[in-house]
Structure 1
Amino acid sequence: MHKELESLRERQQFRSITDSEPQPDGWVIRSGQRMLNLASNQYLGMDCAWAAPGLETASAGMGAGASRLVTGNHPLCTRLEQEFARFKGTESCLLLSSGYMANIGVIPALVGRSDCIFSDRLNHASIMDGIVLSRAECRRYPHRDLDRLEAQLKKAPAGARKLIVTDSIFSMDGSIAPLRELVELKDRYGAMLMVDEAHSGGLYSEEGQGLIHSLRLTDRVEIQMGTFSKAYGAYGSYIAGDALLKEYLTNKARSLIFTTALPPAVISAVYRSWQSVKGHRVRRAELQRKAALFRQRLQEAGFDTGGSECHIVPLVLGSNEKALKVSEKLQQEGIAAVAIRPPTVPEGTARIRFSLMATHSDEDLQWAMERIIRIGREEG
């Protein structure tokens, strides 16, 4: 372990955990210093420290007691699933403990050794781990390369189950999956489509149903996965789809069957946060406006923002050393911006990943952009 850690240090890939205490209006206390928080996934600036009216946290409790299939299925969980399914426009919803647990449980439940999975090369690590656990043949296609995906689908063995898996928004790039085209391909070749809406849930469509809903593809995507830990500012995950899917996963998804259920108090907080997010139309619009201006300013200054199209804006710097230097200098200036390095991103594409929040003021973002551009040029 010592040798491997030293190797990580030499390659500028060593990581450590730093205390962070969120503050109002998009700020954070990090390592004792107040910083503008440009690293959080709480895109709408939600505060999860609440309980829903009629679903008081104190009475709900912090212990679920067991897995959902034993004694851990609190009525709050059933209520949230039923109401959230109607919100998503699906027959059913299944609540799980985290996005990671959802992906490593659902993918192996749907496909196995004799089947094929088709995965975008930039999919999240939890998707890739779910694929490994499934033991299915994995065919990765270049990012958003539909021609390569179609060529792979054509070569799939006859009789194999085929599952296409993609993020809706790619968390390190801010690029958006071509969902309409993916739906057409899965229909053409008899595949299932699973879409991870972790970074689009709460942010797209009239009430935040997500990117799938905004594109009117709800009835054409078999497996919708999402989390409550990003825009909703809480914790937990869900799978939305038809009633058969829920019944099947309840019997086959090991990360549901063999883990303790979410605490009822957490489910209560999720419920209240979701109810609040539905009405945040102005925040959703403001987030996209601020992100567009932030991205445009960096591009005009000559920086590489990758394929960003949304509230996630990477500053691609290349080397690990450069990314760490820029991150350190930004934090010295009062900006929480973390260096993202391999294996999280491909070799040679280390970056600073900026995550904007609707609650960032225009003045704070302007202040931050001036420092980002100056430091980026100094280290460029």
Structure 2
Amino acid sequence: MSDVFTKCVEWKDADLAKEMDLYPFYQAIEASYGATEVSVQGRRMIMIGSNNYLGLSADPRVKEAAFNAIQRYGTTASGSRLLNGTLALHEELEAKLARFLRREAAMVVSTGFQTNLAAISALPDRGDIVFADRFNHASLVDGLRLSQGIEQRYWHNDMAHLEELLAGSDPAVGKLIVADGVFSMDGDVCDLPGILALARKYGARVVIDDAHAMGVLGAKGRGTAEYFGLEDELDLVTGTFSKSFASLGGVIAGPARVINYIRHKARSVIFSAALPPPCAAAALKALEILEEEPERVTRLMDIAEKMHNGLRAMGYDTGGSVTPIIPVMIGDRMRCFALWKALFQEGIFTNPVTPPAVSAGRELLRTSYMATHTDAQLDRVLEAFERLGRRLGLIPRTRPSSYVPVQLARPGGQVPLRKSA
């Protein structure tokens, strides 16, 4: 008789990494110091593994808003949005997000992951086709698995392959194109102009997950569509509060009738407890700060440029990223863990990314930066990367004579779009 627990007992990967003192995951953060530094295992460290892009989680105004919401509402909504869990705070946040994102309506969801489950699971009917970028976030992948739609995956940012799939589909069925705005591991940007052109040509709708683009791309931080000047053409946008908005939760924004349909049909919404009051209040305050202080977005991109070009000048490969998500491409699991460990011992917190999060041979350290990092912190990080990279044989002993500077996704520029299998 087969036992479903057998594989759990036999799986030894984590145990082996711990035996080698190279286990990098589930590191408990004991305290935070202004978002850019944390305490782990009693050691104060520079955090370059967080998605807190604007550094607002430590902003006193955000913390005060969360505290005041607890005083008014308590710690939880104690029910789903459909029944007893909708608060006036949720509705205020939805109205302000709809205005900020220039959409008819917006819906707040309890987590970013559930946001994409809601949008992608609810919309396709049986027989509809969902065209998905191969590098899409797991929440989009799982949303599609829960839907009735038929999945067709196109090569990453490859518009020729996407068009081939669209052209070969039945003109009579519904079509949905789904992609990350900024891809979470590689830091590159979707070819939104190409996607929208093909959507118009073949009668498809488009959903863009802007989890890593809201607060990052565009002059006002409204995301991928703002950056490309295509806000009026994008059908539906999703986002999360756990990154630039210093909280937890997510948002779906688009036509009012579509939002209303998802609100009543998405199981991840109607069967989940509503976003807790302090989380809604924190996101609302972070949104207000972003609108009042757009210079945070500029500072974030200045930092990203410094770090991209600093690492590339040493001989590191930062892939196709044009954002504050900067992958340091290693290409081998053990060498990736070795660099992570060496940096950890130096007081620098990074994220090693290995299969299945990336394919074999694409192992990397995922670094990401905040608008509140200081130049002194960044210089310390760069010095450690250079010294340790040389010691581990990951970069040349002497700096290359030249390197190609990175063109970042700044407002008014053109994003170099990456195609890969």
Normalising to structure 2: TM-score of the pair? 0.86
- Structure 1 SS opposite 2:92: helix
Q: Distance in 2 between matches of 1:361 and 1:121?
A: 35
Match in the other structure for 1:313: 326
Check if 1:19 corresponds to 2:25: no
- Structure 2 SS opposite 1:358: coil
Letter in 1 for 2:41: S
Letter in 1 for 2:28: D
Contact 1:317 1:349 in 2 (8 A): yes
Contact 1:50 1:272 in 2 (8 A): no
How far does the alpha carbon of each residue in 1:326-379 deviate from its partner, in whole angstroms, 9 at most, with x for none? 000001011001211111111111111110111111121111111112212222
Shift of residue 200, structure 1, vs aligned partner = 0.9
Percent identity of paired positions between Structure 1 and Structure 2: 34
The one of 162, 166, 177 equivalent to 1:164 is 177
Moved more, 112-121 or 304-313: 112-121
Contact 1:60 1:268 in 2 (8 A): no
Match in the other structure for 1:61: 74
- Structure 2 SS opposite 1:219: coil
Match in the other structure for 2:210: 197
Q: How does 1:105-144 map to 2 (within 5 A)?
A: 105-144=118-157
Shift of residue 54, structure 1, vs aligned partner = 12
Match in the other structure for 1:322: 335
Q: How does 1:292-307 map to 2 (within 5 A)?
A: 292-307=305-320
Q: Distance in 1 between matches of 2:117 and 2:164?
A: 27
Check if 1:44 corresponds to 2:57: no
The one of 340, 356, 378 equivalent to 2:353 is 340
Match in the other structure for 1:291: 304
Q: Distance in 1 between matches of 2:187 and 2:364?
A: 12
Shift of residue 121, structure 1, vs aligned partner = 0.9
- Structure 2 SS opposite 1:69: helix
Contact 1:207 1:279 in 2 (8 A): no
The one of 256, 276, 283 equivalent to 1:270 is 283
Q: Distance in 2 between matches of 1:323 and 1:180?
A: 35
The 1:53/1:118 distance shift into structure 2, 3 A limit, reads closer
The 1:203/1:250 distance shift into structure 2, 3 A limit, reads same
Q: Distance in 2 between matches of 1:76 and 1:213?
A: 26
Check if 1:208 corresponds to 2:217: no
The one of 253, 261, 265 equivalent to 1:248 is 261
Letter in 2 for 1:375: L
Shift of residue 11, structure 1, vs aligned partner = 8.5
Q: Distance in 2 between matches of 1:259 and 1:245?
A: 20
Shift of residue 299, structure 1, vs aligned partner = 1.2
Moved more, 144-153 or 110-119: 110-119
Contact 2:37 2:44 in 1 (8 A): yes
Letter in 1 for 2:130: I
Shift of residue 50, structure 1, vs aligned partner = 2.1
The 1:238/1:372 distance shift into structure 2, 3 A limit, reads same
Letter in 1 for 2:27: T
Match in the other structure for 1:5: 11
Normalising to structure 1: TM-score of the pair? 0.95
How far does the alpha carbon of each residue in 1:66-108 deviate from its partner, in whole angstroms, 9 at most, with x for none? 1111111111111111121111111100110111001112111
Superposition RMSD in Å: 2.0
Match in the other structure for 2:165: 152
Shift of residue 133, structure 1, vs aligned partner = 1.2
Shift of residue 124, structure 1, vs aligned partner = 0.6
Letter in 2 for 1:376: G
Match in the other structure for 2:4: none
Moved more, 285-294 or 189-198: 285-294
How far does the alpha carbon of each residue in 1:117-171 deviate from its partner, in whole angstroms, 9 at most, with x for none? 1111111111111111114221111111110010011011232211111101011
Match in the other structure for 1:72: 85
The one of 228, 234, 251 equivalent to 1:238 is 251
The one of 117, 125, 129 equivalent to 1:104 is 117
Moved more, 173-182 or 370-379: 370-379
Check if 1:95 corresponds to 2:95: no
Letter in 1 for 2:215: G
Contact 1:97 1:237 in 2 (8 A): yes
Q: Distance in 2 between matches of 1:372 and 1:107?
A: 40
Contact 1:51 1:272 in 2 (8 A): no
How far does the alpha carbon of each residue in 1:206-232 deviate from its partner, in whole angstroms, 9 at most, with x for none? 432222123222221111000111011
- Structure 2 SS opposite 1:220: coil
Q: Distance in 2 between matches of 1:365 and 1:227?
A: 26
Shift of residue 57, structure 1, vs aligned partner = 3.2
Q: Distance in 2 between matches of 1:108 and 1:170?
A: 20
The 1:10/1:152 distance shift into structure 2, 3 A limit, reads farther
Letter in 1 for 2:289: S
The 1:109/1:53 distance shift into structure 2, 3 A limit, reads closer
Q: Distance in 2 between matches of 1:134 and 1:230?
A: 26
